[in-house]
Amino acid sequence: MRRGFMQRVSLESRTLASALYDPDRLQLELQFRSGKRYLYFQVPRFCYELLRAPSKGGYFNRTIRNRFAFQDLSKSSAPIVLASNQN
């Protein structure tokens, strides 16, 4: 495991299966129940608070989705997608 990475955490959620955060690179990797994996870039540490949210999927939709550039890790040659709604 690379320095900085926190351990992958399993999530009790209907939407999200697990999360992995790298505070040095500000990267958040999320695995969904569907099996898809996404890597989000420039994610501040406070967004990792989703681990404490009663609804992990709701927190993701409000705080992370469409706010950070991401890459679909489920596809071998997926491009990085820029956030559509940065606030």
Supply the pLDDT for residue 46.
87
Task: Return the pLDDT at 33.
Answer: 95
Q: Which position has the token pair 């071998």? A: 76
Helix (H) or strand (E) holding 18: strand 16-22
Q: Which residues pair with 32 in a beta bridge?
A: 16
Q: What is the pLDDT along the chain (87 residues), one digit of tens a residue?
A: 445 557 889 999 999 999 999 999 999 999 999 999 999 999 998 888 888 889 999 999 999 999 999 999 988 777 778 877 654
Residue 45's closest CA among 85, 6, 2?
6
Largest CA-CA distance found in the chain, in angstroms, rounded? 34
CB 6 within 8 A of CB 22: yes
Amino acid type, 43: V
Q: Are strands 70-72 and 16-22 parallel, antiparallel or unpaired?
A: unpaired
The model carries a pTM of 0.83
